[in-house]
Amino acid sequence: MSQKIALHTRLKPGKEAEYDSVHARIGDELDAALRAAGVTGWSIWRSGRELFHVVEVADYQAMRKELALNPVNIEWQAVMAELLEVADDYSGADMGLPKVWELP
C-alpha cells in the first residue's frame, strides 16, 4: 500500500523559468535515488510562484529520512534552495498537507 502525499512550496520571485528548466528533466541519479527510497510517482503543478506536489511513496517519512543522507539529493536540495523561499530540511517529521476532502 502506498501513500499519496500533497506538498506546497513557493518559489523566490523571478525563479519560475529557472525552476521549470531544471525540472524539464531530472538527472538519472536523482531519479534512481527517489525510486530506491520508495517513490513511485511525483507530480508538480505550478501557479505563478506556488508549487503543488503530489508524491506517491511506500513510506513518506522513511523516504525523507533516506534522502536526507543521499549525496545526490543533498546536491539537488542545494539547487532547490536557490529557487525556493524555504529550503527543505528532509527531517521526515512532516506529513505533507492535510487532506480536507476527497470525492467518495
φ/ψ (deg, to 5) at 69: -100, -5
φ/ψ (deg, to 5) at 50: -85, 130
Domain locations along the chain: 3-83
Which pTM value belongs to this model? Answer: 0.91
d(CA 76, CA 90): 12
Question: pLDDT tens-digit profile of 18-29?
Answer: 999 999 999 999
d(CA 87, CA 9): 9
What is 3-83's CATH number?
A: 3.30.70.100
Q: Is 10 a residue whose pLDDT tops 90?
A: yes
d(CA 40, CA 79): 23
Please give the average per-residue pLDDT across 76-88, as a whole number.
Answer: 91
d(CA 77, CA 39): 17
Query: Minimal CA–CA distance to 44: which of 35, 56, 54, 31?
Result: 54
